[in-house]
C-alpha cells in the first residue's frame, strides 16, 4: 500500500518522459509542451489508488493512468481554445504559443495517444476499460458543450448546473477511480461505490473552488479573488443567489453584470455584499459538506478493510479544506 503522495511521486516519475515521436516535430512538440507544464496529476493517481484499494498495483494501471492524464490534457488544450484562455498554469496555453490550428491538432493527437496507451492492456478487461473510458470522454464533451450553452442563457437552475459540472469535471475523477477498481479486480458494487465517491468529491471540490474564488484568502487561494464575478461566470454561488435573492437584489445583480464601466473592486464588493446578504457563503459551505458526506458514505460502503481506504481519505483531505 502507498499513500496518496507516494503514488503521486511514483506516477510523476513514470509519466515524466516523452509521449510522442520526435517526427513531425511541429505537431508533437506542442503536444509535449503542455505535459511539461505540470499539474497535480490527481486523476491518474486516482487510477492507482482505485487499483490499490483492492489489490497490488496491476502494471496495466500505469497505462490506464497515463491514458487518463493524456485525455485530461487533450481536454485542456481544446477547452483553452474555446475559452480563448491566454494562460494555463502561469504559462502560455498551447494555442497562444503555437496557434489555434496546431493546438487543435495537438489535442486530437493527444486523444489518439491516450487510446494507444489503453491498447497496451490485457484483453481480459480491455473491453470494459474502453467502455468506461469512452462513456467518460463523451460525458466530458457534453459537459463542455452545456457549459457553453449556459453562458448564453440568463437563467440556469442549480440542478442543471450540478449536472453540467458533474459531466465536465467530476465524471473523470469518478471514472479514474472506477478504472483502477476494475484493474484491481473489484466487483460491480464496489466499482459503483468508488465511482460515486469520486463523482461527489469532484462536485464538492467544484463548490469549494467557486466559494474560494469569491470568499477565499487571496494569499492561500493563489488566484485573484473575484475573478468569476468579474467574468460574469455562472457559478454555484451566482446561481443560488439568483434563486434566493429578492426582486431588488436580483435586479442589482443583473445590473452589476451588465455595466461594463464599473470599477472592478467596486463590482466585486457589491456582488459579495449581496451574496452575504443572501447567505450564499454559508449555503456553499453546507453544500460542499453535503457532497463530501455523500462521497464518504460511498467510500464507507465500499467492501474492503478500513485500513486500505487511508489513501482515499488523504485524497479527500488534500482536495477539500474543512472546518472540523
DSSP 306: G
Q: CB within 8 A of 149, min separation 6: which ones?
A: none
Q: Counting contacts by CB under 8 A, is residue 134 touching a second copy?
A: yes
Least distance between a second copy and beta carbon 184 (Å): 21
Among the listed ranges 94-102, 171-179, 231-239, 282-290, the one in contact with a second copy (CB under 8 A) is 94-102
Among the listed ranges 10-18, 140-148, 251-259, 285-293, the one in contact with a second copy (CB under 8 A) is 140-148
Angle at 202 between CA 297 and CA 87, to 5 degrees: 165
- Residue 7 or 146 having the CB closest to a second copy: 146
Among 32, 96, 145, 249, binds a second copy (CB under 8 A): 145
Q: Counting contacts by CB under 8 A, is residue 146 touching a second copy?
A: yes
Least distance between a second copy and beta carbon 318 (Å): 30
Among 48, 76, 81, 214, binds a second copy (CB under 8 A): 81
Among 108, 243, 281, 301, binds a second copy (CB under 8 A): 108
Residue ranges in 255-294 that form contacts with a second copy under rule CB under 8 A:
none
Phi, psi of 316 (to 5 degrees): -60, -45
Among 96, 126, 192, 249, binds a second copy (CB under 8 A): 126
Q: Counting contacts by CB under 8 A, is residue 153 touching a second copy?
A: no
Q: How is residue 156 written as a grid cell?
A: 440556469
**190, 61 contact by CB (below 8 A):** no
5: preceding bond cis by omega (within 30 degrees): no
- Residue 125 or 318 having the CB closest to a second copy: 125
b/e sequence 4-32, b meaning 16+ C-beta within 10 Å: beebbebbeeebeeebbeeeeeebbebbb
Least distance between a second copy and beta carbon 183 (Å): 17
Least distance between a second copy and beta carbon 251 (Å): 29
Q: Counting contacts by CB under 8 A, is residue 85 touching a second copy?
A: no
User: What angle, rounded to 10 degrees, do the helices at 123-151 and 158-165 form?
Assistant: 140
Q: Counting contacts by CB under 8 A, is residue 109 touching a second copy?
A: yes
Distances (CA, A) of 132 to 94, 137, 168, 175, 305: 28, 9, 15, 7, 26
SS3 at position 305: coil
Q: Counting contacts by CB under 8 A, is residue 76 touching a second copy?
A: no
**148, 82 contact by CB (below 8 A):** yes
- Helix spans in the chain (H): 4-15, 25-35, 42-52, 60-83, 94-98, 100-118, 123-151, 158-165, 171-183, 188-215, 218-221, 227-230, 236-244, 247-258, 264-277, 280-301, 310-319
Q: Counting contacts by CB under 8 A, is residue 115 touching a second copy?
A: yes
Least distance between a second copy and beta carbon 86 (Å): 17
- Residue 94 or 201 having the CB closest to a second copy: 94
Q: Counting contacts by CB under 8 A, is residue 130 touching a second copy?
A: yes
Among 6, 12, 116, 301, binds a second copy (CB under 8 A): 116
Among 32, 102, 192, 249, binds a second copy (CB under 8 A): 102
Distances (CA, A) of 143 to 7, 136, 147, 168: 29, 10, 6, 4
Residue ranges in 157-216 that form contacts with a second copy under rule CB under 8 A:
none
Q: How is residue 211 written as a grid cell?
A: 466559494
Site residues for a second copy per CB under 8 A: 23-24, 26-27, 78, 81-82, 100-102, 104-105, 107-109, 111-113, 115-116, 119, 123, 126-127, 130-131, 134, 137-138, 141-142, 144-146, 148-149
Amino acid at each position: 500500500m502507498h499513500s496518496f503522495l507516494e503514488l503521486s511521486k511514483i506516477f510523476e516519475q513514470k509519466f515524466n518522459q516523452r509521449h510522442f515521436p520526435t517526427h513531425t516535430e511541429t505537431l508533437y512538440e506542442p503536444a509535449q509542451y503542455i505535459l511539461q507544464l505540470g499539474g497535480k496529476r490527481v486523476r491518474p493517481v486516482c487510477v492507482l489508488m482505485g487499483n490499490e484499494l483492492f489489490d497490488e498495483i496491476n502494471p496495466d494501471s500505469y497505462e490506464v493512468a497515463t491514458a487518463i492524464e493524456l485525455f485530461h490534457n487533450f481536454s485542456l488544450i481544446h477547452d483553452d481554445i474555446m475559452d480563448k484562455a491566454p494562460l494555463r498554469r502561469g504559462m502560455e496555453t498551447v494555442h497562444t504559443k503555437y496557434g489555434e490550428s496546431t493546438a487543435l491538432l495537438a489535442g486530437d493527437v493527444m486523444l489518439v495517444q491516450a487510446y494507444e496507451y489503453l491498447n497496451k492492456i490485457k484483453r481480459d478487461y480491455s473491453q470494459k476499460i474502453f467502455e468506461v473510458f469512452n462513456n467518460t470522454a463523451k460525458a466530458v464533451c457534453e459537459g463542455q458543450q452545456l457549459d457553453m450553452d449556459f453562458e448564453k442563457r440568463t437563467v440556469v437552475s442549480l440542478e442543471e448546473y450540478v449536472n453540467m459540472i458533474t459531466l465536465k469535471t467530476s465524471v473523470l475523477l469518478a471514472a479514474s477511480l472506477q478504472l483502477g477498481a476494475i484493474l484491481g479486480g473489484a466487483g460491480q458494487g464496489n466499482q459503483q461505490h468508488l465511482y460515486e465517491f469520486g463523482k461527489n468529491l469532484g462536485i464538492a471540490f467544484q463548490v469549494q473552488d467557486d466559494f474560494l474564488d469569491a470568499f477565499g484568502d487571496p494569499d492561500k487561494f493563489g488566484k485573484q479573488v473575484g475573478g468569476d464575478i468579474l467574468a460574469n461566470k455562472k457559478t454555484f454561488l451566482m446561481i443560488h443567489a439568483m434563486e434566493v435573492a429578492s426582486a431588488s437584489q436580483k435586479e442589482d445583480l443583473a445590473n452589476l453584470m451588465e455595466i461594463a464601466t464599473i470599477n472592478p473592486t467596486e463590482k466585486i464588493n457589491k456582488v459579495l455584499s449581496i451574496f452575504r446578504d443572501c447567505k450564499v457563503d454559508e449555503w456553499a459551505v453546507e453544500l460542499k459538506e453535503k457532497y463530501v458526506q455523500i462521497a464518504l458514505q460511498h467510500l464507507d460502503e465500499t467492501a474492503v478493510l478500513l485500513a486500505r481506504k487511508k489513501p482515499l481519505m488523504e485524497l479527500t483531505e488534500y482536495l477539500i479544506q474543512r472546518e472540523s
